[in-house]
Chain A
């Protein structure tokens, strides 16, 4: 027997996340009536505050019918190709994690095996010099990926640097255009149904009730709806340590760099991310190792401006983001430091999953189980990827030593063990970051496999060296001819006018 289908959905949260969820639901499941309770997002909702995003945002836009060119031209978005990590790996040079292929497989082994063999036996330029996007990012250049798979510029993805004002406005307008209904007001309470503990309705501050079959909680870390059902939380602070964040916005540069920078400091790290409307500076730190005044001072000296008031975060996730008829998305489900910019990415994937897995009104346990299982698998691997930056660091300070001495989560320990032994990357389901991303960070941080994979034996070293040199030369020839970000956006603008 099938229960009645869901018809009414309330999305609580009036930031970019709430409107993104509403737009996706209306676009994909037009039979749903979607009401957005447009609560102002709290200052500690990282999904709303972090401007840098991963390439998945471009797919998300395409999927909900938003034209990415429009997003670039109308919503003030900038382009980003990757992140440079400086000071994470002791005396080694800064490395770039770009969303690209690093090298090309040839002979019988993947590219990184060739690189590892060269790195162990002689010397070879750093791993990131084999990624066209990393080279583009360093040179401040940008083009869209090419369609021809034979082109070296065919395999990279790019993220966006969001405008904190224009972007949410655009999504709001789009969701309303798709038929979502806005309900302004404040939240006064959550009414549960006696029989099964489902949420029956929200009480608003004017005393009115907002009922629905399903409630989507996009209210930020306090999870104003989902938090009334239970408070279970899995804490990750032993592996990813920053529990405080500072933000400082500086004026934009004339030709913003598509390369963000994350610079390690003794109590965490700080970032510089250049967008088109501002340059975002921030500092992530562990309060046990740095107090707020020292932190503010550190960021002020680096950014040249005074930061806003600090924001506290608690890293970890809800074991069950979806319980009964309430699903938590974004900071309400998972909170991680913004390292590698995964906050909005995880929220987008949760929205996709919600759309794809929409159950009946009874929210059957088995369907929620599958949703929660997928979210958990994905989030845990993101946690692993962030924890890797600390676990594989050789930086010398109490915090960093402490993290190095902490046993990593089982799945990360497995990855590290296998990679450090023989350069193999184990496969996990629901992986956010590609093999190349993992390799960029592992090798960038100096985790060099102890053994060289025997599958490479049949390729003579000279052959490897030649192929690798050809790759580097190709990149070196190509990159200087490409436009800068400002030049690229001008070209885009001119095409649009025509």
Chain B
């Protein structure tokens, strides 16, 4: 069998992640040729990740400490949301469970029962290992058994996305991937089938391929521009369409979590890396201007700005299909969801995993393509609902933006989930999907979606033993976190970045 020629268009995070994975895992089956232009530059906003990235790195044989040092990474135990339900509110969406994992009845049901009976019970955060570590600025790697508190959390990374691409490039090139520098000026298609035959560079060079992966970013050069796959616009639910980014020197703590802080017309991120802190304001241009947004961000960021503000434009939504003909869109070329829950790199990874598992023959079968598109749709749809929840579950009416999202119509799939939770704290169960029960619970309760009742099974144990059990659990969690190393100290010992020369 002759190897298939895979041509990757674009060399940002999506492009190099794809190149490294294909070169490493399907050697012999395909050759990898990546085309990028240094003149175009990358978006590279997605600096915070989800725990799934660890499986990706492991599959590529990446050593954690080496990767973290190279990308100046920090650990991430969850996301702090400030001022979302009401101004002054703060909660953490943790990577991990409330209480120890694997229980038949979700921990928050017992917590709800006690609260509803009028007992003085601490906030739910206190029963999460990840939340407690985050608040105390501690870190340790989790142990293997999820039933133990020390194994009840997961973690991800916050890293410099502009360094992740080059890091993966080294791996990809070592595995035999080829790179060409140049701007694409034409895309040639088969007149009959409509498949892409080749791309032509400014230099005149023509690069032929069997399978094209579009990692060109928002411009969606192949999937959108050439193949004209329609874009499904979700901005009526996710109205943010701009972001202004402004990295700063770190003045506050190097927190083991990302912060998402509500702003008058959106929200801003704070992502601490080893050498700087990433900041950006995601906003809706219908509710504020670029200048206003940049000023608002400049007023609140800590530390001295390292770069002048840079504005990005986008629309929330996705292409109707991500794989059309012999072209697979990965990353921003296939769709965009704002980085509120750090899903950008996750979506890239999900697409790569699906492509690996559904890697086609030279003669592409519709079976592979349809299944790929089904899987990607599922990922996008579920994340979409989860993101909308953050905006919609608010009591804020202090700016026109918050009043709009608070009162906007939401998809039925989300309305049902919300109503079900309001009844007795039940989460619609999925066994697969990026955000599982604990994530939904954290956001619901953190944004004041308070259930009226609780699971009747939680009534079985006597109240006194529950209260005593919770007291012990809280103390155990705090005790475990208290002896953990400080996050910054851990980084210094484990994966210090090389000082800039």
Contact = CB atoms under 8 A, between A and B. Distances in A.
B29 A454 contact: yes
B368 A455 contact: no
A457 B423 contact: no
B459 interface: yes
B428 A429 contact: no
Contacts of B453: 2, 5, 360
B232 interface: no
A374 B420 contact: no
A429 B430 contact: yes
Interface residues of B, number: 32
B359 A454 contact: yes
Contact of B455 (A30, A356, A421, A422): A356
A108 interface: yes
B371 A424 contact: yes
A397 interface: no
A279 B15 CA distance: 63
Nearest to B427: A370
A327 to B, nearest CB: 15
A424 B430 contact: no
B460 A2 contact: no
Contacts of A401: none
B371 A426 contact: yes
A246 to B, nearest CB: 39
Contact of A454 (B26, B420, B430): B26
Given A366-B420, A454-B29, A31 B459 contact: yes
A304 to B, nearest CB: 46
A133 B23 CA distance: 39
B456 interface: yes
B28 A457 contact: yes
Contacts of B416: 366, 369-370
B28 A458 contact: yes
Contacts of A429: 429-432
A1 interface: yes
Contacts of B419: 366
Contact of A427 (B356, B432, B457, B459): B432
Contact of B420 (A5, A360, A367, A451): A367
A367 B426 CA distance: 9
Nearest to B460: A30
A424 B25 CA distance: 17
Contact of A367 (B358, B423, B430, B457): B423
B356 A28 contact: no
A339 interface: no
B361 interface: yes
Nearest to A355: B457
B25 A455 contact: yes
B459 A359 contact: no
Contacts of A417: 367
Contacts of A364: 423
B357 interface: yes
Nearest to A458: B27
B452 interface: yes
A1 B423 CA distance: 9
B365 interface: yes
A29 interface: yes
Interface string A394-421: 0000000000000000000000011001
A212 to B, nearest CB: 16
B367 A457 contact: no
A370 B432 CA distance: 17
A29 B457 CA distance: 6
A28 B460 contact: yes
A358 interface: yes
A3 to B, nearest CB: 9
A28 B365 contact: no
A426 B361 CA distance: 19
B367 A421 contact: yes
Contacts of A28: 457, 460
A192 interface: no
A358 B456 CA distance: 7
Nearest to A32: B456
A1 B452 contact: yes
Interface string A1-35: 11001100000000000000000000011110000
Contact of B457 (A2, A356, A418, A454): A356
Contacts of A29: 456-457, 459-460
A2, A374, A426, most chain B CB atoms within 10 A: A2
A366, A374, A453, most chain B CB atoms within 10 A: A366
Interface string B332-370: 000000000000000000000000111101000101100
Given A29-B459, A356-B455, A370-B416, 7 more contacts: A2-B453, A358-B457, A367-B426, A421-B367, A429-B431, A458-B27, A458-B28
Please provide the 3 A-B residue pairs with the shortest distance between their CB atoms, ordered closest to farther: A421-B367, A2-B452, A454-B29
Interface of B: 25-29, 356-359, 361, 365, 367-368, 371, 416, 419-420, 423-424, 426, 428-432, 452-453, 455-457, 459-460
21 contacts: A29-B460, A355-B457, A358-B455, A358-B456, A358-B457, A360-B423, A366-B420, A367-B423, A367-B424, A369-B416, A370-B428, A418-B367, A422-B358, A422-B365, A424-B357, A427-B432, A454-B359, A455-B26, A455-B359, A457-B28, A458-B27
